[in-house]
Structure 1
Amino acid sequence: MSRTAEDQQLSFDELGQPLHDVSFVVLDLETTGGRGSSDEITEIAAVKVRGGRTVGEFSTLVNPGRPIPPSISSITGITDAMVADAPSVAAVLPSFLEFCAGSTLVAHNASFDTGFLRAACERSDLSWPGPPVVCTVRLSRRVLSPDETPNHKLATLARVLGARTTPRHRALDDARATVDVLHALLERLGSHHVYSLEDLLDYLPRVTPQQRRKRTLADGLPDAPGVYLFLGPNDEVLYVGTATNLRRRVRQYFTAGERRGRMREMVALAHRVDHVECAHALEAEVRELRLLEAHQPRYNRRSKFPRAVWWVSLTEEPFPRLTVTRKPRSSSLGPFRTRKAAGNAVEALEDATRLRGCTDRIPKGGGSRRHPCAAHEMGRCGAPCVGYEGTTDYEPRVVPVREVLSGSGDSALRRLRDTIAELSETRRFEEAATHRDRLVELVRGLDRGQRLAALASVPELVAARPDGSGGWLFAVVRHGRLASAGTAPRGTPPMPVVDRLQAAARTVLPSEDPLRGAPVDEVQAVHRWLTGGDARMVRCDSPWSEPAGAAGSWRGWAESASRARVPYEAAD
């Protein structure tokens, strides 16, 4: 008996990734409210499951940096006192993203949870990895009939489907309950011929005919990490992305798991998919950054809104002042993602040193004005513009700023902290909070810039991370840029691989600015990879270290102060 093409047995490649091999990370968040711009995460929990078994859990309270409304506390039981000593979301995200790496995210009303996480990543200068997402609300609407459940709330589904954990508006319990709901729903999908992750994503609604027809664009892509490029009818680059598994990731664009309207529009225009296979995730991330800069694809948000940065520098004048610019100098402070953040750093340093803030060009002899400005009347400037200060008198104001910019001293930071304490003691709490916030932003900017500059100053280093299978992932870094990358699989002698990578590494000619000419995003990506918990140094041309007076010693203070509430309590 003959069979139609649809009846013929599919190959393993065509079947996709079997559901029992998929790592699902089932997550839940608690927040200070709804989706308003002022709402923040208060708790993150996730349960990783594979083949029906739990393989790991992640759970932490998060300090939202703002009071939790009493109405929310009455629902979740999470109070201001409980999160007072909890880490910020910026401190939690790197380990959470590592826990989720390579997995499919699952959540009940997933757009709510992923929306908060995307926004938090954006504010923390982290890239959202764009994993496939399964929403158990949408899945239950497809699987369960109205006769089986009166609604699709998590508590109702947990009761109807016999979940072992009862949801109670705490993240870990709700995530565990969602795991049971997910497994119960997946058990019912066999009769719907859903056997793979691709089948599952395709089973959810809203997949378009154009998406279905273009699945063949993923044919021939390797099951390896790398960068993929969607190309238009004239071979123009429409979109660039990274993946730990190129074929699997690109196939997801042709399923209902891809819900972004712009991406469906992009898929409709695409004529083919090109790729660059990479040794590991760091190489893929760096290549993506370089391709985005080279092609500026219309469907990449980062290309449409370039992530330009700002720097704070001392002018070269007889009476130097601080200025905010796009282009750094050799001793500039930065990078800052927004001009406002850079301006706050300037105001903090001016408060600490009484450095002039006006833009007047004051000659060496002083006296460019006849009367001092309001800043002098307020005690914020010595008025060199009218000759009240000469260059010798003004120099002690400049020295602490130069020390902060170079990392050789922190006297300006200590003066600011003393000012905050004095304001707090006199119960001028709002002023203390304003100064505190400026100092926190200044410390974070200094710390970030000094760490990146320290890495960029190293001519060459070689680092390794285990690949999880007994082998090694290698990166050769020159002045903060990835110069070459490779692997040594289990059983392969690693040092000959290192020698070959160094010999073939890209030549890097440094400039004089703090990052030696390296793009900020690339240095940050390399720094994250090198400072991962399992990274190891193999070779290093010169010591990789921060200056003795760097802001690193202030990290703990900034973290503690950022959690303080008004009335302000000075953090030691």
Structure 2
Amino acid sequence: MARSTNPAHPDRPSAQGVQGTFEDLGTHLADVTFVVVDLETTGGAAATDAITEIGAVKVSGGLELGEFGTLVDPGGPIPPFITALTGITQQMVYAAPKIDSVLPAFLEFARGCVLVAHNAPFDIGFLKAACAEQGYAWPTFAVVDTADLARRVLTKDEVPNCKLSTLSRFFRTATEPCHRALADAKATVDVLHGLIERLGSFNVTSLEELKSFAKAPTPEQKRKRHLADDVPSAPGVYLFEDDGGEVLYVGKSGDLRTRVRSYFTGSETRWRVREMVGLAERIRTIVCATGLEAEVRELRLIAAHKPRYNRRSKHPERAFWLKLTVEPFPRLSIVRECRDDGAVYLGPLGSQRQAEEARAALHEAVPLRQCSQRLTLRLIERGGARSCLLSEIGRCGAPCEGREPAAAYALHAESARSIMEGDVRPVVAAAQVRIDRLTVGLRYEEAAAQRDRLAAFVRAAARGQRLTALARCSQLVAARPAFDGGWELSVVRYGRLAAAGTIPPGAHPRPYVDALIATAETVFPGPGPSGSATAEEMECILRWLDAPGGRLVEVDGEWSCPLHGAEGLREWIDNAYVPAEPEGRGAGRPLR
């Protein structure tokens, strides 16, 4: 066969005489330079937590080109559970560089490459947050998520899950992942190479094909697209159900049709959701009058059905409360529910740890007994009560031994009641004195612990006071401007959304308000300060009420917060968590 040549270079083939191959249409994966990165952090939230270690490996064509690894001073304390998980201690990062010097070096190391990470949204999210904090524009990196690739390439018969440790064993990586950045990055390199070998069976050989492969919907998503055909374009709630009628997932949207259809496209990359779509056989929708009604209905349905694929709001009954008990010598107890028993409650709190920290802050201000025994005057007179170490160090008046009479102890109980119901200044003052003393003594870790206690108390008190104010209103009617020029209406009774509706543009509001009130749900007051709804529902309502343009139509009750309550201190306590180390390390910004 004759071959055309290039006249200027007879030894080279002419471009017109050679047929290109499919590999010429993109960048072959063997020619792509990947930077596989892994981070260790102080927590899971990029907005509030910090990076403690960066590890990265640069590879191309199966060969390692370079490594990047360093500890990073996070500018604050490393939580104990993070130290237990990663082995990174406060002492290890004491002399480490901070992110402002590490980040430019890493960006230069990764420049022009494709970033790879296992569960990439986590690592990339922290890197983007660091760039934003340091004033760097995030480079336009192409990103490959090995966890997402594994879910597409491997079957459940091959691996039970797509954790890095599981994939490491499956591909027999040379390095075992151990929650240290560089080791995990090296393990991810071997996982990436194993996945690229598998991609050949899917005819994925170029970077461009890899990108489109990662964005393509799964066959199961394509097969189930018809489930969204009859979904209306309106605000409301949707429920995915299996063939037996079990609710798999509950969600909400301002446009049900658009949201539900997105579950059957490549934009839905969450593997649990894809698994749920594969099990779903029908989608049930509930059209709502307003976005608030949709949000509240979603919470109620999740709490009622506890769908296996919903992660949040499934167990509102698991909240914690701080209770001042009703007995001759009251004490602070952590409980799981409010009762109409005359006791004072503070909360709700999200975890027992938060409840313990809030209780410790209150104990710093008021010398209540901390023992769990039930004290009665008769038990004390008979000498049957047990004393504790706190009485010996002056932290308790020892009513168990009769050294502090009931009348004197009642003053402490009344002080605690006053603090929990409104005036939090004694707790703040006691904590501030202790923090200042510890800071002067260069005991920054202990000062940070005191700050955490105070923050837990202030946040719990602020939340509880806002919810209590709403729960005490037998009826609250409010309106908010709607997008179409009309109004959204809500009737709230004892903290529970009793009715929701709309007023058309230009219509007189009174008939619509009266009709909505007349048809609203009958609600009875709940026990204690918890109201007749969950804390999450009441917080949804409060956010709706706080939105710009809102109007109070009717209020039956007093909707207000205490003058010296915790609501005004929330911004102040949040500012105390801005990382700063004026004199030492790890304490955060002192409270002033």
- Which interval holds the TM-score relative to the shorter structure? 0.5 to 0.7
Equivalent of 1:74, from 75, 85, 101? 101
Partners of 2:560 and 2:393 lie apart in 1 by 41
Equivalent of 1:386, from 401, 415, 432? 401
- TM-score, normalised by the number of residues in structure 2: 0.64
| Match runs of 1:430-441 below 5 Å | 430-441=445-456
Aligned-residue sequence identity (percent) comes to 42
State the Cα distance separating 1:261 from its structure 2 match.
2.1
Q: Which runs of 5+ in 1 are unaligned?
A: 1-32, 45-62, 78-106, 119-133, 140-200
Matched-pair contact (CA < 8 Å) for 1:41–1:64: no
Partners of 1:407 and 1:562 lie apart in 2 by 24
1:281 is matched with: 291
State the Cα distance separating 1:488 from its structure 2 match.
2.2
Matched-pair contact (CA < 8 Å) for 1:307–1:337: no
Partners of 1:386 and 1:417 lie apart in 2 by 32
Q: Does 1:322 align with 2:332?
A: yes
| Aligned AA (2:415) | P
Equivalent of 2:344, from 331, 350, 363? 331
Partners of 1:517 and 1:251 lie apart in 2 by 35
Partners of 2:573 and 2:406 lie apart in 1 by 34
Matched-pair contact (CA < 8 Å) for 2:375–2:385: no
2:254 is matched with: 244
2:503 is matched with: 488
**Secondary structure of 1:301 counterpart:** coil
State the Cα distance separating 1:422 from its structure 2 match.
3.3
1:364 is matched with: 377
Matched-pair contact (CA < 8 Å) for 2:422–2:566: yes
- C-alpha change, 1:528 and 1:108, in structure 2 (3 Å) is farther
Q: Does 1:232 align with 2:259?
A: no
| Match runs of 1:526-565 below 5 Å | 526-563=541-578, 565=580
- C-alpha change, 1:110 and 1:292, in structure 2 (3 Å) is same
Partners of 1:117 and 1:328 lie apart in 2 by 39
State the Cα distance separating 1:292 from its structure 2 match.
1.4
| Aligned AA (2:421) | S
**CA deviation digits over 1:331-390, x for unaligned, max 9?**
200000101110111111112212111112222253645774211223211112222211
2:39 is matched with: 34
Partners of 1:135 and 1:286 lie apart in 2 by 39
| Aligned AA (1:430) | E
Q: Does 1:350 align with 2:380?
A: no
Q: Does 1:510 align with 2:525?
A: yes
- C-alpha change, 1:560 and 1:234, in structure 2 (3 Å) is closer
Partners of 1:260 and 1:135 lie apart in 2 by 21
| Aligned AA (1:513) | G
- C-alpha change, 1:210 and 1:526, in structure 2 (3 Å) is same
Partners of 1:227 and 1:204 lie apart in 2 by 29
The number of equivalent residue pairs is 419
Matched-pair contact (CA < 8 Å) for 2:364–2:427: no
2:54 is matched with: none
Q: Does 1:411 align with 2:426?
A: yes
State the Cα distance separating 1:556 from its structure 2 match.
3.8
State the Cα distance separating 1:298 from its structure 2 match.
2.2
Partners of 1:306 and 1:286 lie apart in 2 by 13
| Aligned AA (1:470) | G
2:69 is matched with: none
The structure with more radius of gyration: 2
**CA deviation digits over 1:263-289, x for unaligned, max 9?**
222212222111001122211110111
- C-alpha change, 1:138 and 1:496, in structure 2 (3 Å) is farther
| Aligned AA (1:339) | Q
State the Cα distance separating 1:204 from its structure 2 match.
5.2
Matched-pair contact (CA < 8 Å) for 1:65–1:563: no
- C-alpha change, 1:371 and 1:216, in structure 2 (3 Å) is closer
Matched-pair contact (CA < 8 Å) for 1:440–1:558: yes
Matched-pair contact (CA < 8 Å) for 1:400–1:409: no
1:96 is matched with: none
- C-alpha change, 1:234 and 1:64, in structure 2 (3 Å) is farther
State the Cα distance separating 1:247 from its structure 2 match.
0.9
Partners of 1:527 and 1:109 lie apart in 2 by 39
Partners of 2:295 and 2:420 lie apart in 1 by 30
Q: Which runs of 5+ in 2 are unaligned?
A: 1-37, 50-73, 79-92, 105-114, 127-139, 146-210
State the Cα distance separating 1:468 from its structure 2 match.
2.8
| Structure 1 range deviating more: 314-323 or 561-570 | 561-570
**CA deviation digits over 1:181-220, x for unaligned, max 9?**
xxxxxxxxxxxxxxxxxxxx99853422221121111112
Partners of 1:342 and 1:43 lie apart in 2 by 21
**Secondary structure of 1:514 counterpart:** helix
| Match runs of 1:191-206 below 5 Å | 205-206=215-216
1:299 is matched with: 309
- C-alpha change, 1:241 and 1:265, in structure 2 (3 Å) is same
1:90 is matched with: none
| Match runs of 1:465-480 below 5 Å | 465-480=480-495
State the Cα distance separating 1:36 from its structure 2 match.
3.0
1:209 is matched with: 219
Matched-pair contact (CA < 8 Å) for 2:120–2:143: no
Matched-pair contact (CA < 8 Å) for 2:241–2:283: yes
2:591 is matched with: 571
| Aligned AA (1:533) | P
1:310 is matched with: 320
| Match runs of 1:8-157 below 5 Å | 34=39, 36-38=41-43, 41=46, 70-75=97-102, 112-113=120-121, 137=143
Partners of 1:341 and 1:538 lie apart in 2 by 37
Partners of 1:347 and 1:43 lie apart in 2 by 24
**CA deviation digits over 1:220-256, x for unaligned, max 9?**
2111111001121122222111111111111111111
| Aligned AA (1:437) | D
State the Cα distance separating 1:425 from its structure 2 match.
3.6
Partners of 1:554 and 1:498 lie apart in 2 by 36
2:282 is matched with: 272
| Aligned AA (1:262) | R
**CA deviation digits over 1:422-453, x for unaligned, max 9?**
33344443333222210111011101110111
- C-alpha change, 1:548 and 1:37, in structure 2 (3 Å) is same
- C-alpha change, 1:293 and 1:323, in structure 2 (3 Å) is same
| Structure 1 range deviating more: 423-432 or 467-476 | 423-432
| Aligned AA (2:41) | G
**Secondary structure of 2:530 counterpart:** coil
**CA deviation digits over 1:463-483, x for unaligned, max 9?**
222223322222111111111
RMSD: 3.5
Partners of 2:525 and 2:494 lie apart in 1 by 7
**Secondary structure of 1:503 counterpart:** helix
| Aligned AA (1:238) | L
State the Cα distance separating 1:71 from its structure 2 match.
4.2
Q: Does 1:219 align with 2:229?
A: yes
Matched-pair contact (CA < 8 Å) for 1:240–1:297: yes
| Match runs of 1:452-467 below 5 Å | 452-467=467-482
- C-alpha change, 1:440 and 1:386, in structure 2 (3 Å) is same
**Secondary structure of 1:238 counterpart:** strand
**CA deviation digits over 1:287-323, x for unaligned, max 9?**
1111112222222223766662000111122111110
| Aligned AA (1:364) | L
Partners of 2:119 and 2:541 lie apart in 1 by 30
State the Cα distance separating 1:406 from its structure 2 match.
1.4
| Structure 1 range deviating more: 509-518 or 249-258 | 509-518
